Amino acid sequence: MFPENGEVIIKIPRSLTKDIVKVTEQLDKYSEGEIPEEWKKWDSFIVHLDNHLYTPLVIWKERKEEIKSIPVKLNKGEKKFVNNLREFLNRNKNLFGSTDIFLLRNLSRRGIGFFISSGFYPDFIIWIKNRNKQHMIFVDPKGIRNLGNFNDDKIQLCVSYIKEIESQISKRLRREKKPISLVLDAFIISTSSYDDIKITFREDKYTKDEFERHNILFMEDEAYIKKIFERVGCC
């Protein structure tokens, strides 16, 4: 995910002098253990999240397209998902008690992948840790127009394959007498609207509920983060 020394590399063109100066000042603060105020908002293209989340993140920002990073910065849909998750967790701390929740970014071809007929690397992993029970939720915000129907491998991973993998891992944990219970789930978060997608999935025959039964949620739905936790029994 990172260069060998574990650093995040930010590439800013020389023409963006103000950004170079600003980021250099912010990084100096961060290296000294101080969180720059700009990073606590979404006004900067570098964002710091609380201790439960992967941080800092380099994010997509309008009129900052020339700025590049390694690992690659979050795109618009990924940025919205992370922001929505952060807002939900901050508003609902009472729902989770002593449960630890982490967000791990997963990189294509270098992270955790699933191979059915082709490779699939969901963008994020929500890791929920509570005593001897751990829950890993794979989440992929994406446009789904090209998937075409519910038989697509990425959708079938969310519907059934992920539970087959969970079963195999559980058998191995029992065989090795590991005192850990592991639950796996997976969701696709459509950055496309339901009205746009329902036409490509069998000419308007499927309701939004049918998509949700296949673990496809729509980012336009303000409650989609809550639905993730509800569907996996964590909320």
- CA 117-120-121 angle, to 5 degrees, is 160
Kindly give the residue spans of alpha helices, DSSP state H, lying in the chain.
Answer: 17-31, 76-91, 153-156, 162-175, 194-200, 208-213, 224-231
* pLDDT tens per residue, range 97-140: 778 888 988 765 565 656 555 556 788 989 998 877 889 999 99
Domain boundaries along the sequence of the chain: 9-49+61-70, 76-231
Cα dihedral 8, 14, 18, 23 in deg (nearest 10): 10
**Mean predicted confidence (pLDDT) in 164-179:** 87
Residue 184 pLDDT class (50, 70, 90 cuts):
very high
pLDDT at 4 exceeding the cut of 70: no
The pair of three-digit structure tokens given for residue 104, joined into one six-digit string: 């791990």
Judged by phi (left if over 0) then psi (alpha if -120 to 50, else beta), residue 208 lies in: alpha
Residue 202 pLDDT class (50, 70, 90 cuts):
low
* pLDDT tens per residue, range 56-93: 889 988 888 899 998 889 999 999 999 999 999 989 88
Task: For residues 193 and 76, give the distance between their C-alpha atoms in angstroms, rounded to a whole number.
Answer: 15
CB distance 103 to 42 below 8 Å: no
pLDDT top residue among 228 and 118: 228
Q: What is the structure's pLDDT at 228?
A: 95
Q: What is the structure's pLDDT at 111?
A: 55
pLDDT top residue among 19 and 146: 19
Please list the residues that pair with 33 across neighbouring strands: none
Residue 165 pLDDT class (50, 70, 90 cuts):
confident
Could you tell me the pTM of the whole model?
Answer: 0.87
DSSP state of 148: -
pLDDT at 148 exceeding the cut of 80: no
Q: What is the structure's pLDDT at 154?
A: 85
| Mean pLDDT score of the chain | 85
* pLDDT tens per residue, range 42-57: 888 898 887 667 778 8
Please list the residues that pair with 58 across neighbouring strands: 46
Q: What is the structure's pLDDT at 80?
A: 94
Q: What is the structure's pLDDT at 150?
A: 85
β-pairing verdict for 114-115 and 119-120:
antiparallel
Q: What is the structure's pLDDT at 32?
A: 87
List phi, psi (to 5°) of 185: -145, 165
**Mean predicted confidence (pLDDT) in 7-23:** 90
